[in-house]
Structure 1
Amino acid sequence: MNSRKELLITSFGLFSLFFGAGNLLLPPLLGYNAGENWFWVAIGFMVTAVVIPIIGILAHARLQGTLYDFGKKVSPQFSLIYCILIYVIAVAIPSPRTAAATHEIAIFPIFGSDPLWTSAIYFALVLVFVLNRSKILGFIGKFLTPLIVIMLLLVIGIGLFSSEMLTSASQFDTPIAKGVLEGYQTFDAIGAVVVGAVIIISINFRNKGSFEEKKTLIAKSGWIAGFGLFIIYAGLISVGAYYGSEININDELSSDMQRANLLRKISIASLGGFGNTVLSILISLACFTTAVGIIAGTADYFKGLLENSQLVYIVTAIIASVFGIIVGQLDFNSIIIVAVPVLLFIYPITIVLILLNVLPQRFSTPLVFRAVVIVTFIFSIPDVVGFISPSEGLKRITEYIPLTQFSLGWVLPALVACLGIGLLNPKANNQLYED
């Protein structure tokens, strides 16, 4: 085994499974609206779109199991429900969203076709790749990802050098908090726990090395993929900010069209008429690889849940693809709006599970897991309710919870629960862990 080649293929494959529709469309508009504060909004964005996902891959390297292992210390019942929720959400939102983005940016402007045809052909191809999953990582890592990275660097590099490097006034009062919440929409933390399992299974198909060798390979791949995400996100946010004084998107009908048209105009400004072609190919490849990773991960989970049945894998992949065709006909912005309350609920729980699974065992006992997850769940409820049905009564209650105004009211209570139980009562925790 060529360890360097294996590392590069795994890193590229992981990066490509992460990098999808939201990863391309969200950062430029975020930078455009942040203007002079683009650096601070980028810092917040990196927390939830880069740092947490990297830690998620490190947790996978340590566990080398499935998504079920992330929550089993809370309880087997909780972990089962959490896994089903995560995979249903992944199939219902980020996977169809990749088809919607591909249609709106790469297909409709050229062919003017119906979204049903795009999503049908798109998910038929996704299904072909998923059913040949042993070849997924190698093909994506060797061919698709290098092409995606080269195109992205061309758009960012030429875009930065060809812009006037002037920024407009920021539209955000709290750019860091805005960046953190916008990072939710990339689904990268959820992607870390879903596609991390895909990476492990794909590695096991090709690599018969020891547990420690695989742990090192997965961890290094996570760092490399994370560094790649950092460079691309920072580049896209800065390009969006520096073109803020040159490109007008305020006359677009929706924020969805703003995202698509801003990225298109930046591509044309940096690469000329060839920019539209580059953008179409880039969007299609980035979205496609993410959809493949999500559906393969979902099929893997239900296959393992039901006696390792290959038939279950095939049926799950088909159902997920059909669902993708149906939901993929919606426009990108509609899917984002639907996703917000779901993310405000599931993202905090996912983040704390990722963080707890990389802590030393003495500080990540079942008691700590249960306390932190319960506290996170309780303090996430006001954020969800406040988004769906805001009221003055709820506002008066939540004004006493720090960071609630940023939809981050769960952060400090979860930290207090972790420190209070994990640090102040380590003997009881160790005993519970040993039992």
Structure 2
Amino acid sequence: MHKLTRKQILLLASLIFGMFFGAGNLIFPVHLGQLAGKNWSLAGIGFLISATLLPLGALVALSKTRATGLYDFAKPVAKWYGILFLIMNHMALGPMFATPRTAALGYQFSIGSLIPNKYSSIGLFLFSLIFFGLAYYLSVHETGLIKIIGKILNPIFLVIIAILFLVAFIIPMGSLHHAPTLATYLYTPSTSGFLEGYNTMDALAALAFGVTIIRTLRNYKITNENAIAKYTIKSGILAMVLCAIIYLGMILLGTLSLNKFSLSENGGIALSEIIKYYFGNLGLVFMAALTILAVFTTAMGLIASFAQDFSSQFHFIGYKGWLRLTTLLSFITANFGLNTIINWTMPFLMILYPLAMALIIPALCSNLFDNHRLVYRFTTAFTLIPALFGGIQSLPVHTQVGERLSAFYVSTTPFASIGLGWILPTLCGLILGVIVQKFFKYYFPDSIKI
């Protein structure tokens, strides 16, 4: 059986890291550090659980179920649901929200800050045209992804991050003893940190990137399912450990920055202030390089995984055709602007994320019920209603009906007020599904088939 060398495992881990780590992964932990103050460590633990362990759990779940993509992963509920979940997940992570956001963020934190407001539309148009043109060009050949992201772009990004950390921690801005700037970080820092990490939504991305990782392994002539699972988990752990190190460094930078700056509106502004403090006007170039490298590798991973999953299920268009389509649609959406994209992202993700967890959680404990579809169906059915309510709760457009439904949801469902109302229903569905499956398996063994 063919085996990966240590160098190949590191390259695969670098590819996974590069696809995951976008601009949002830079700005969320910095903002967390400012919000948490002296409770940065407890908040950081919560953040790491949701921002690294949940995505790693998704990769492990894919490996355990031997799924080769989103369709395979979701089809235990039903074949039609597998297709629907694939489309919903890739549209949200692809041309509707996440992929366009990479270009919009790259523009805002690079040349967008230098261009007068009256020219911002044409500036975004030209930037996103070049951005997605390059992303398409470099993603046309699937086998080139690991070389471009793993060998070239990602190492450059890590060198820039290392320089920032080296300077900032040799010459710190001050102490780490500032009081939290938000009350929730004073009383429940770990929970608040968990919720901030939840905003990265990387568990969804892990499910989408799974197909790219598997195809990369097959290009390395790893075809055995057990070997694919082993190398996915091993490289995924390395990638998430690297993410965790950078997250902690960014959290510390955010907390230290309170000695020089007041609480910023978002982590992007805070990171810009920190970089400018250490590097002056050169810091603007530094920030631009840091952000563009972060978002560009993620954009490549997103458009490639979209094209790979869609081409494997819908054969009337090949990989390059789907790649062209998602790149074009992402370019169009990006030009609606970052604020519009962010405002409409959350409602869709508040529906999709619980539905993804309703697949990931059973998959992680699938040995308990022989990976039977009945358990997936119960878990998903119990998750669907709170997921829909969560989406309504997050709509940027408020109506009387929507507000009444949201009020009912928050008043009747534990944790709904913090966006986690799906947790108890999902666990109840899982437990009930396992009980029902065990009952039928014991008393009516011939009536229940996998």
The alpha-carbon distance between structure 1 residues 396 and 124, as it changes in their structure 2 partners (threshold 3 A), is closer
Match 1:355 to one of 331, 356, 361: 361
Aligned to 2:427: 415
Partner of 2:160: 151
> 1:203 Cα shift?
1.8
Corresponding position: 1:126 with 2:135: yes
Which whole-Å deviations, capped at 9, do the CAs of 1:276-332 have from their partners, x for residues lacking one? 32221111111111111111111111211123x6x4322211121112212222443
- Residue in 1 that maps onto 2:101: 97
| Map of 2:75 onto structure 1 | 72
Compare 136-145 and 419-428 and name the one that shifted more.
419-428
Give the Cα separation in 2 of the matches to 1:429 and 1:155.
Answer: 58
Higher mean C-alpha displacement, 188-197 vs 56-65: 56-65
For residues 352 and 397 of structure 1, what CA distance do their matches in structure 2 show? 19
> Given that residues 104 and 260 in structure 1 are in contact (C-alpha distance below 8 angstroms), is that contact kept between their aligned partners in structure 2?
no
| Residue 225 of structure 1 pairs with residue 239 of structure 2 | yes
Change (3 A) 1:397 1:85: closer
Q: 1:136 to 1:188 in 2, by over 3 A?
A: same
1:366 positional shift: 1.1
Instruction: Name 1:137's counterpart in structure 2.
Output: 146
How many residues align? The count is 427
Q: 2:19 maps to what in 1?
A: 17
Does structure 1 conserve the Cα–Cα contact (< 8 Å) formed by 2:140 and 2:320?
yes
> 1:93-137: CA deviations, max 9, x gaps?
111111011111122235666100000000000111221221111
Aligned equivalents of 1:211, 1:425: Cα separation in 2? 26
Name the counterpart of 2:250: 236
Counterpart residue type for residue 284 of structure 2: N
Q: Which residue of the partner structure matches residue 169 of structure 1?
A: 180
- How high is the TM-score relative to the length of structure 2? 0.88
Distance 1:68 1:429, change over 3 A: farther
1:184, 1:347 within 8 Å by CA — same for their partners in 2? no
Change in Cα spacing, 1:393 to 1:107, as seen in structure 2 (3 Å) is: closer
2:54 equivalent to 1:52: yes
Task: Output the TM-score relative to the length of structure 1.
Answer: 0.91
Give secondary structure in 1 for the equivalent of 2:364.
coil
- Offset at 1:64? 4.5
**Structure 1 pair 423–237 and aligned structure 2 pair: CA distance change class (3 A):** farther
Q: Does 1:181 find its partner at 2:187? A: no
Residues 52, 354 of structure 1: 8 Å contact kept:
no
Aligned counterparts of 2:337 and 2:192: Cα–Cα separation in 1: 23
Residue aligning to 2:126? 117
Matched AA of 1:82: F
Structure 1 segment 359-378 matched on structure 2, within 5 A? 359-363=365-369, 364-378=371-385
- Counterpart of 1:19, as a letter, is F
Q: CA deviation at 1:382?
A: 2.6
- What code does the residue aligned with 1:163 have? M
Match of 1:284 among 277, 281, 292: 292
CA 1:434 to 1:282, structure 2 compared with 1: closer, same or farther past 3 Å? same
Q: What's the CA shift for 1:150?
A: 2.4
| CA contact 1:299–1:313 (8 Å) conserved in 2 | yes
1:124-174: CA deviation from partner (whole Å, max 9, x where unpaired): 001112212211112211122122122223323432442202324331424
Match of 2:87 in 1: 84
AA at the equivalent of 2:388: I
Which deviates more from structure 2 when the two are superposed, residues 141-150 or residues 391-400?
Answer: 391-400
Letter in 1 for 2:254: G
Q: Secondary structure of 2:412's match?
A: coil
Consecutive unaligned residues of structure 2, counting only runs of 5 or more, are none
The 5-angstrom pairing of residues 278-427 of structure 1 reads 278-307=286-315, 311-363=317-369, 364-388=371-395, 389=398, 391=403, 394-396=406-408, 398-423=410-435, 426-427=438-439
TM alignment of 1:266-285, pairs within 5 A: 266-285=274-293
Query: RMSD value over aligned CA atoms?
Result: 2.3
Partner Cα separation in structure 1 for residue 405 and residue 82 of structure 2: 34
Query: Mean Cα displacement is larger for which, 383-392 or 85-94?
Result: 383-392
Specify the alignment match of 1:204 in structure 2: 218
- Measure the CA separation in 2 of the matches of 1:334 and 1:424: 45
1-structure distance, mates of 2:430, 2:314: 34
Percent identity of paired positions between Structure 1 and Structure 2: 26
Task: Indicate the larger mover: 392-401 or 297-306.
Answer: 392-401
What residue identity is the alignment partner of 1:127? Y
Residue pair 1:105, 1:280 contacting (<8 A) in 2 also: yes
Q: What SS class does the counterpart of residue 417 from structure 1 fall into?
A: helix
Q: Which one-letter code corresponds to 1:81 in the other structure?
A: L
Q: What letter is aligned with 1:368? A: V
User: How far 1:261 sits from its partner (Å)?
Assistant: 2.3
Tell me, in whole angstroms, the C-alpha distance in 1 between the residues paired with 2:98 and 2:441. Answer: 38
Report the CA distance shift for 1:157/1:347 in structure 2 as closer, same or farther (over 3 A): farther
Q: Distance in 1 between matches of 2:348 and 2:87?
A: 14
- For the structure 1 residues 357 and 429, does the alpha-carbon distance in structure 2 shift closer, same or farther, using more than 3 Å as the test? farther
Read off the aligned partner of 1:14 and give its amino acid letter: I
Distance (whole Å) between structure 2 residues aligned to residue 96 and residue 397 of structure 1: 31
Go from structure 1 to structure 2 and tell me whether the alpha carbon gap of 1:339 and 1:41 turns closer, same or farther (over 3 Å shift): farther
CA contact (8 A) 2:46 2:192 kept: yes
Partners of 2:405 and 2:360 lie apart in 1 by 33
> 2-side partners of 1:333 and 1:242: how far apart?
28
Aligned mates of 1:393, 1:8 — CA distance in 2: 49
Tell me which moved more, 130-139 or 161-170: 161-170
- Please identify, of 25-34 and 214-223, the stretch whose mean Cα deviation from structure 2 is larger: 25-34
